[in-house]
Amino acid sequence: MERTEYVINKSSFEFVNLDSNIHDNKLDTKPVGYLRDALRRFAKNKGSVVAAGIILILVLFAIIAPMASDYTVSFRDPYFRTTLPICTAAKNNPNMDFWDGCSEVELAQTTFELYYGINVESGQEAVKRGEYTVRQVTRELKNNKTRVDNLYTFRLNSYYKVGAYYKNLTLEEYRSIQEYQDRTGKQVLYPVVAKKERVTALLDQLDPSTASSKTYINDDGNFWYKVKISSKAPYTPTAVFDENGNYINNYAVDPTSDKDLYTSKMLVEGDTKQYLYGIKNQNGFEVRINYYEYFCYVHYMAGDGIESPHFIFGTNGDGQDIFTCLAAGARFSFLLAILVSIINLTLGAIYGAIEGYYGGLADICMERISDILGAIPMMIVLTLVRLQLSNKTDIPSQDIALVSMIISFLATGWIGMASSVRMQFYRFKNQEYVLAARTLGARDRRIILKHILPNSLGTLITGSVLVIPGVMFSESSLAYLGILDLSTSTSTSIGVLLANGQPYLTTYPHVILFPALFISLLMLSFNLFGNGLRDAFNPQLRGSEG
């Protein structure tokens, strides 16, 4: 193989910047700090970013919703218990029946006639759109006899099903409602039925499949129409209809229509009779009130901005607005968890820093103290503190429960944080930059605060963030099990809402659905968010489970 020789002479070279000094060029990019670099790494984790967004939404919900809601935690309405969620846009939208405040039911004829009578008398659609289907069921009786019953399937509106009920009013209240009727055109008072003609026989038999049938008929106030009671069991009252299939009213006629004290008369359309709207008694008048309109009247007079009953998440068994209670409970749980997290972070960082920096005998003694405290179950601490505080009768029970829980969390909650900080100090205290600072005369406090602790920042932040969902979940678990009750007349918590919703899990699942959904989203989001923070602040731990 022939070898080729290359000749390099002086002319092949050329001087660069012969007449000037050469210096390093200035960097075109700005230096990236530790926090900015961690933020960039965190932003690359899409799951953690989404989780952070969900957490932000939940926090904003807890802050803003109680202020934006028309209701408060102290609001309770016995007639709107376990009311279903409703959205204004879903009222007349057949594609959103799941959020229209109605539920599909199948009830006996007597109960159906009761609810359909509300449609006829007030125009309120207790039976949604007046639509229903009928099926016949043959029941076996004694002596080989049978009975055919009609079962009606329809969508029952949980807001209108209350209908009318009897109520005692003073003369001032009676006149105030009449003035409200004249001013707004909304009918609150309806003609009463003579007492001797009211249905009182075996009201519990109206709907044998429902244990709370008495709450549906509201002290027989919805029996405004003529009925007949069967002569055989179950002796249920059924409506009497005219030849056109219409209800026949059973209103009492006012015998003093030309000389009474009433300021407002609301006649039945198409009827020339003057009916009795109030029966005078010792305290004023007994009247028959449509509760939905009476609710509107009460809040109209109070001026609180509530125009009509509407509960976007429904109500619980106490008649409280779940939307408001959930937001208020979330705010309380967040504040409690953040307070505990900050205290545990402070105690754990100080304790772990002393252990890890000084080591030796100090570390051994402090570790044994941590081992002893860590071996005590939180439940034992909680019980002992509650027993001790219970002896002091001047402390309310809710305050005892709250103080007991905070002390039990703080008694051992800092141990995990202290252990993490201790390991970080053992890792960094013999690094060259620490030795250099010590050689230059830096004091222990400066080395701890300026050189070692900042390098432990990732562990501290991740640990403190994960304490928040841990505290909230523990509080929810304790309240759900009935060990703690942090509710008062003006406050509540997520755990209390879950506990109150348990009895309605099969009948009214929405009562527990929204608190359970909130705590589930919170736990999952914090888990993903904490993993993202760990990877961002400690890239060496990426993918680890610790």
Within 162-290, residue ranges assigned H as helices are 171-184, 213-217
Tell me: the pLDDT tens digits for 165-186? 888 998 889 889 988 988 888 8
pLDDT value at position 350?
87
- Measure Cα distances from 225 to 150, 174, 200, 247, 252 in Å: 20, 24, 14, 6, 11
| Mean pLDDT, all residues of the chain | 80
Q: What distance in Å separates the CA atoms of residue 526 and residue 544, rounded to the nearest whole number?
A: 17
Tell me: the pLDDT tens digits for 175-224? 899 889 888 888 898 888 865 445 444 444 444 444 333 333 335 688 88
Tell me: the pLDDT tens digits for 511-546? 999 999 999 999 899 888 888 887 787 666 555 444
pLDDT value at position 393?
61
Q: How many CA atoms lie within 13 A of 294 on its CB side?
A: 21
Domains for the chain: give ranges and CATH numbers. Answer: 51-63+321-541 (1.10.3720.10)
Residue 398: exposure state from Cβ atoms within 10 A (0-12, 13-18, ≥19): middle
168 phi and psi, to 5 degrees?
-90, 130
Taking the CB of residue 18, how many other CB atoms lie within 10 A of it?
6
Coil vs helix vs strand at 474:
helix
User: Strand 285-290 to strand 279-280: parallel, antiparallel, or no bridges (unpaired)?
Assistant: antiparallel
Confidence of residue 230 (pLDDT cuts 50, 70, 90): low
pLDDT value at position 208?
43
DSSP character at residue 218: T
Tell me: the pLDDT tens digits for 430-473? 888 888 888 888 888 888 888 888 777 777 777 778 888 888 88
Chain centroid offset of residue 342 CA: 25
pLDDT value at position 327?
92
Angle at 413 between CA 329 and CA 373, to 5 degrees: 140
Q: Please spell the DSSP secondary structure of 223-236, one letter per residue.
A: --B-EEE-SSTT--
Tell me: the pLDDT tens digits for 490-499? 778 888 888 8
Residue that the structure tokens 């009920």 belong to: 165
Mean pLDDT of 403-424: 84
Mean pLDDT of 301-308: 85
Lowest-pLDDT range of 65-74, 86-95, 364-373: 86-95
Compute the residue count for the chain: 546
Tell me: the pLDDT tens digits for 243-297? 888 888 888 877 665 445 555 655 565 566 677 888 888 888 888 999 999 999 9
- Measure Cα distances from 73 to 62, 159, 487 in Å: 13, 20, 10
pLDDT value at position 217?
38
Coil vs helix vs strand at 405:
helix
Tell me: the pLDDT tens digits for 120-155? 988 888 998 888 899 988 777 677 777 778 889 999
pLDDT value at position 514?
93
- Angle between helix axes 510-537 and 322-358 (nearest 10 degrees) is 30
pLDDT value at position 214?
35
The answer to whether the CB of 401 falls within 8 A of the CB of 335 is no
> pLDDT at residue 111 above 70?
yes
Q: Is 144 left (phi over 0), alpha (psi -120 to 50) or beta?
A: left
pLDDT value at position 261?
52
The answer to whether the CB of 202 falls within 8 A of the CB of 286 is no
pLDDT value at position 491?
79
